[in-house]
Chains A and B, each alone.
Chain A
Amino acid sequence: MADLEFPIPKYRDYPEVPAIKAGAMAHSRPHVASEKIQEALGYQTKLAEDWQVTHDKAIGKFGELLGKYRSLKVFMDSCVHCGACTDKCHYFIGTNDPKNMPVARQELMRSVYRRYFTLAGKMFPSLVGAQDLTKELLDEWYTYFWQCSECRRCSVFCPYGIDTAEVTMAARNILDTVGYGQKYTNEILGKVNKIGNNLGLPGPALENTLEGLEEDLKEDTGFDIKYPLDVQGAEVLLVTPSADFFAEPHIESLIGYGKVFHAAGISWTLSSYASEAGNFGMFDGDYEMMRKVALRIRKAALELGVKRIVVGECGHAWRIAYAFWNTLSGLGAGANDPFAIELQKQLDPRYKQPSHICEFTWDLIQQGRLQFDKEANDHRIITFHDSCNVARASRMGDYPGGQFEIPRNIIKAVANKYVEMAPDTIREATFCCGGGGGILTDELVEARIKGAFPRMEALQQVVDQHGVNFMATICAICKAQFTKVLPYYGFNMRLVGGVHQLVSTAIRLGNEQ
């Protein structure tokens, strides 16, 4: 744990809204993508020498996006500055920087919208808060649109559902276009496009890792739990975040998935070509990039001839899989165009396509096909952290809110001790881990630590009151982020883990006597 140049926020006696501190996070800037990284994605490699060129290109792209996205257009026009969202963002609560209030973040972009695209802003800029796009303003975009995790918490409380995530995505898309990309996100996109996963783990290395895992599990459990790779004709294709292949605690959940497939006796496979559920194309709102990444999974599914697609524990990946795959790659149901039908006629219509691994496991539990020794989890007092993209941007099961119930149902089916955190910090009001949406990089550690503050505060409460020692979550980014920031708040980093880690602990693997 390195020394920090800033203090960790102090827990509050009452959850009162902090006073604003203008400019508190103005220094926060992620590393800019190199020319090589930008080039690999087909973006302009760097900012033009001549500001006017950048300016015109940015405004041109802005106009294009306004024509393509109703969300952006309606959101630019509709905000009344009512202020309901001002205290909803974890980055504002943790940093007190007023530009981290969702409406103020939007206003960085809306002021430009007003100036160039509305009559009022052209005629009376200062009256309606319109301003010219300058280099300084573009730098501010870079600073503050990289302090938004696209968690959508603000959109829950806005009377018009204005979703700052949509605004952030559009702003980042413009930044990419003018050659002002962010290193972390764009570097990873380069890897997934080239190699098939965010870690840049090539096929043979993946094969080795999985074999090693099989051996370890044989030793630990005595069972032949398989991690099949590229198996033609398997029933299920599992697509999971690549962190599951060797980051801690992610791998514990991977072990859990394998045990579930083993215990249920369902044939499955991973794909070396599509060994990544994550899709950072969403973070910069680049439709074509996102589509390109999604098409890898379509291709793998077609080639392997699988009947079902199941997605591992990952928040943004589940949003893309659940809400966008049908659009991007036809992976879903109900289409009537040849492109989508080609895949959809192959998939088994009795199952939801794609399914979340929690839906998959919960179905099996309900059918009585999995047995558990719940006591095996008795050393754990468990709480559940809802991940933003699962909570506010997707669903599980048949009814609205299934995304909250199903993971909890699984936990309660495999463990005895479960408690909830404060009601205004879970379910649709859940607080982001502080590292989502492309923020999970070392140079943004201050924003990450401070952004985790509201969640840490709620966690501290249940730790104090109930002795909670395990916070389950179903997101690779949440797991990585918490592992990093928990120690700063005085917690053990092993406090965080996956839902299938709990499943793994309790599941009965075979006919043990």
Chain B
Amino acid sequence: MTLFFAILFYLATALFVVGLAYKIYDFARTPAPLSIPTTPAPTTTTGVAFRMTREVVLFESLFKGNLWIWLFGWLFHMGLFLVLVRHLRYFIDPIPAWLLFFQPFGKYAAFMMIAGLGGLWARRFLVERIRYITTPSDHLWLALLIGIGISGAAMTFVSHVDVVAVKAFFLGLMVFEINPLPAHPALIIHLLLVALLLILFPFSKLLHAPGVFFSPTRNQADNPREKRHLAAWAAQIEKN
């Protein structure tokens, strides 16, 4: 079993990293030929950085758009963020002080995450318009994330797992050493689902995470009269 998980995680990580890197490269190399920020937009790059930060940290546009989705979505993502920060302890040794400080927040963030996901999922059933646009994969993603959340919380709050051994296993993988992984049912489910998440990430709607940074309506400065934007393919037309 230890070997199975070792191979699985090498594979999943490789797919995740390569797939995501390719997608980011693909976004980056595709030109944005016209200036199309949704205005009013900041006129400087600094301004754009602030706008982007507000989008990513506060979900500003979503807040303007729909308070319920914002509430659940923000709970879920903030919970997820705190949980992931707490998880760094499995990959970093020794654990730095700031990370130690974070641990209790991360622990209860599991509930934030699960509650947010529950709310988002409920909307997919209860709100007619959202039911209309929901595809089976939207449900599966929510199921997958809730599954990860519940199996994780089960370990934290119900039946503990030997986290020292888990850490040894993952630190080992990083230096190509295989240490035994504790055989704990919740851990097995947790890790299987996490591997699935990593594998599917680059091929799915989770690309919204890199996508938001590349969205021309949000990442362009509003300065078309002062600066000439010209894509390479458009410059080519000019030569003809």
* Residues of A in contact with B (beta carbons under 8 Å apart): 17, 19-20, 66-71, 73-75, 77-88, 98, 101, 103-104, 107, 118-120, 124, 126-129, 152, 155-163, 166, 287-288, 291, 322-324, 326-327, 330, 332-337, 339-340, 352-354, 391-395, 399-401, 403-404, 428
Q: Tell whether, in the assembled complex, residue B65 and residue A69 are in contact, meaning their CB atoms are under 8 Å apart.
A: no
Q: Tell whether, in the assembled complex, residue A70 and residue B35 are in contact, meaning their CB atoms are under 8 Å apart.
A: no
A341 vs chain B, min Cβ distance (A): 10
Residue B2 CB within 8 A of the other chain: no
From B212, B224, B226, give the contact of A159 (CB < 8 A).
B212
From B32, B41, B129, B212, give the contact of A17 (CB < 8 A).
B129
A400 vs chain B, min Cβ distance (A): 4
Residue B164 CB within 8 A of the other chain: no
Q: Tell whether, in the assembled complex, residue A73 and residue B66 are in contact, meaning their CB atoms are under 8 Å apart.
A: no
Q: Mark B212-240, 1 if CB is under 8 A from A, else 0.
A: 10111110001011111111011101100
Q: Tell whether, in the assembled complex, residue A326 and residue B227 are in contact, meaning their CB atoms are under 8 Å apart.
A: yes
A residues near B32, Cβ cutoff 8 Å: 69-71
Answer whether A327 and B224 are a contact pair too, CB < 8 Å, given A69-B30, A129-B137, A156-B64.
yes
B residues near A327, Cβ cutoff 8 Å: 33-35, 224, 228-230, 234
Q: Tell whether, in the assembled complex, residue A391 and residue B39 are in contact, meaning their CB atoms are under 8 Å apart.
A: yes
Q: Tell whether, in the assembled complex, residue A395 and residue B129 are in contact, meaning their CB atoms are under 8 Å apart.
A: no
Residue B115 CB within 8 A of the other chain: no
A393→B55 CA distance, assembly (Å): 19
Interfacial residues of chain B within 1-53, with CB under 8 A of chain A in the complex = 23, 26-27, 30-36, 38-43
A77→B222 CA distance, assembly (Å): 24
Which of B34, B130, B208 has most A Cβ within 10 Å? Answer: B34
B residues near A73, Cβ cutoff 8 Å: 26-27, 30
A residues near B233, Cβ cutoff 8 Å: 68
Q: Tell whether, in the assembled complex, residue B64 and residue A332 are in contact, meaning their CB atoms are under 8 Å apart.
A: no
Q: Tell whether, in the assembled complex, residue A74 and residue B59 are in contact, meaning their CB atoms are under 8 Å apart.
A: no
B210 vs chain A, min Cβ distance (A): 9
Answer whether A20 and B40 are a contact pair too, CB < 8 Å, given A120-B203, A326-B227.
no
B residues near A83, Cβ cutoff 8 Å: 66, 69, 123, 127, 129-130, 133
Q: Tell whether, in the assembled complex, residue A322 and residue B224 are in contact, meaning their CB atoms are under 8 Å apart.
A: yes
From B59, B137, B208, B235, give the contact of A127 (CB < 8 A).
B137
A84→B63 CA distance, assembly (Å): 9
Beyond known contacts A74-B215, A78-B211, A157-B65: 9 more, CB 8 A cutoff: A81-B205, A83-B66, A83-B133, A118-B203, A156-B65, A323-B34, A324-B34, A326-B229, A327-B229
A67 vs chain B, min Cβ distance (A): 6
Answer whether A339 and B61 are a contact pair too, CB < 8 Å, given A84-B69, A155-B217.
no
B70 vs chain A, min Cβ distance (A): 8
Q: Tell whether, in the assembled complex, residue A103 and residue B133 are in contact, meaning their CB atoms are under 8 Å apart.
A: yes
The secondary-structure label for the interface of chain B is: helix
Q: Mark B60-100, 1 if CB is under 8 A from A, else 0.
A: 01101110011001000000000000000000000000000
Q: Tell whether, in the assembled complex, residue B39 and residue A70 are in contact, meaning their CB atoms are under 8 Å apart.
A: no
From A71, A158, A322, A335, give the contact of B228 (CB < 8 A).
A335
Residue B101 CB within 8 A of the other chain: no
Q: Which 7 pairs show the lowest CB-CB distances between chains A and B?
A: A157-B65, A78-B211, A161-B217, A400-B40, A84-B65, A129-B135, A83-B130
Q: Which residue of B lies closest to A73 (CB)?
A: B30
A103 vs chain B, min Cβ distance (A): 5
Q: Tell whether, in the assembled complex, residue A334 and residue B228 are in contact, meaning their CB atoms are under 8 Å apart.
A: yes
Q: Tell whether, in the assembled complex, residue B69 and residue A82 are in contact, meaning their CB atoms are under 8 Å apart.
A: yes
B residues near A339, Cβ cutoff 8 Å: 238
Answer whether A340 and B127 are a contact pair too, CB < 8 Å, given A84-B66, A428-B39.
no
Q: Tell whether, in the assembled complex, residue B228 and residue A393 are in contact, meaning their CB atoms are under 8 Å apart.
A: no
A484 vs chain B, min Cβ distance (A): 28
A402→B40 CA distance, assembly (Å): 8
B229 vs chain A, min Cβ distance (A): 5
Residue B176 CB within 8 A of the other chain: no
A152→B37 CA distance, assembly (Å): 10
Q: Could you pull out 19 A-B pairs where Cβ atoms are within 8 angstroms?
A: A20-B129, A69-B31, A71-B215, A71-B217, A77-B208, A77-B211, A78-B207, A78-B215, A80-B208, A81-B135, A82-B62, A83-B127, A84-B62, A120-B137, A327-B224, A327-B228, A332-B228, A392-B38, A394-B39
A339→B127 CA distance, assembly (Å): 54
B residues near A334, Cβ cutoff 8 Å: 226-228
Residue B204 CB within 8 A of the other chain: yes
